[in-house]
Structure 1
Amino acid sequence: MSSTASSRANSPSRPNRGPAAAAENRRALITAAREVYAEGGLNSPFSAVAKRAGVGQGSLYRHFPDRTALAAAVFEDNVRELEEYVAPPERTIDDLLDRVVAQAVVSTAFIELITADMSDPRVAALGARFNALVTQLVERDRSAGRIGAHIDAADVTMAAGMLATELARTEASARPEVGARAKALFVAAFAPRSAD
């Protein structure tokens, strides 16, 4: 027996947990993807995600056959977080924009990827969910007099997209300041007008 075979025979092997590990592996891959692409951008090798997550490449491709699938999974988490965040009746469009800035600051590579593939059904479904939560906030803010009658859900959705895209193109150290300035512009544009 060779020394390599002998060492394999003597070392404890990790038990194969099969389907029981699938959800855990998927979560680890999404977390790893956020880290890898935040550090290295979209040019980071896909295999680096599997390595960071501590799973095999086969597992990566079973869960996410391409980069868009992985980006959609990251944004699904983001949209779910936004849905939960804006559910309380006191939440406003201003709160939504704050949260979009916070998410965009750490998800810039995914913003680039997902906005390049808007026709993908996985991306379109996330867009529909985001539009639904924006519509809810617009109705809430209009009823409370916080935004003008000239603003509709499409305006807020566009503003959020512009904000996220601008942050994706901004140097990491300047993102918080740029996010705050852009958000202030949108808040001023959304405010009720004297004729409202």
Structure 2
Amino acid sequence: MERHEPDKRRSRAPRRDAQERREALIASAVLCFTAEGYRVPLDTIAERAGVGRGTLYRNFKDRDALVVAIFSREADRLEQVIDPARPLVDILSGFVLDGAVASSLFARIAADLQLDEANRAALEALGNRMERIFAPAVAAAKERGEIASTVTPRDIVLAARMASTVMLPFLSEDEVAAQVSEALRLVFDGLRPR
């Protein structure tokens, strides 16, 4: 009797298609939340992503879960590019500037977030993940004497959030870069060993 091996290409295609639809929903949510605010109809997000409402709900139980996914994607991006050998201020500057869309999105929707217990826990877990991502860079910065031994990864995540608030929508890219640089200089003045 002849054995037939399953076609692995065929089994990968649906998963890849599902992942592409999920990514399209996240990208659409970023655009829609940024343009129309947190209360944008979920149908609008699904339509812009080119999928049906059912696909949206198969991927995200509610709009809060979609928000958590947006910020989780930012953590994924950071985890791929962070290099502890670089000066910590450069890492933070790049993170803040590269995450400008996510930061402005969070500022736009933060007041409207009504997180249930599960989504709040997911957002807190994401904050803890960000601290773990920054931990090697913080340890390396301490060894180089860039920051005091008392500085924690949580401090650095907070510094990044603080620096992101100076990115105002009416400023040019150069002005934003200068503002972020100045904000981080002020923050790092307080973080240096005394």
TM-score normalised over the length of structure 2: 0.74
Q: How does 1:1-196 map to 2 (within 5 A)?
A: 21-87=17-83, 89-90=85-86, 92-105=88-101, 107-113=103-109, 116=113, 117=115, 120-149=120-149, 151-165=151-165, 167=167, 170=168, 172-174=169-171, 176=173, 177-178=175-176, 180-191=178-189, 196=194
Contact 1:37/1:44 (CA < 8 Å) preserved in 2? Answer: yes
Report SS of the residue matched to 1:174: coil
Q: Please report how far the alpha carbon of residue 194 of structure 1 lies from its aligned counterpart in structure 2 after TM superposition.
A: 8.7
The secondary structure found in structure 1 opposite 2:38 is helix
Q: What does the per-residue CA deviation read over 1:109-149, in whole Å, with 9 as the maximum and x for residues that have no partner? A: 34554684496121112111101122222111121122234
Q: How far is the alpha carbon of 1:108 from its aligned partner?
A: 2.2
Residue 187 of structure 1 aligns to which amino acid in structure 2?
R
Q: What CA deviation, in whole Å up to 9, does each residue of 1:32-66 have, x standing for no partner?
A: 11222222222322211100111001111111121
Check conservation: 2:138, 2:152, Cα contact below 8 A.
yes
Contact 2:79/2:133, CA 8 A, preserved across alignment: yes
The count of residues paired between Structure 1 and Structure 2 equals: 177
Range with bigger deviation, 158-167 or 57-66: 158-167
Q: Over residues 50-96 of structure 1, what are the superposed CA-to-partner deviations in whole Å (9 max), with x where a residue is unaligned?
A: 00111001111111121111111111110011111114533634322
Q: CA RMSD in A?
A: 3.1
In 2, Cα distance between the equivalents of 1:138 and 1:66?
35
Q: Runs of 5+ in structure 1 lacking a partner?
A: 1-16
Q: Which runs of 5+ in 2 are unaligned?
A: 1-12
Specify the alignment match of 1:8 in structure 2.
none
2-structure distance, mates of 1:173, 1:33: 23
What CA distance in whole angstroms lies between the structure 2 residues aligned with 1:158 and 1:31? 25
Larger radius of gyration between Structure 1 and Structure 2: 1
Amino acid corresponding to residue 174 of structure 1 in structure 2: L
**Amino-acid identity (%):** 29
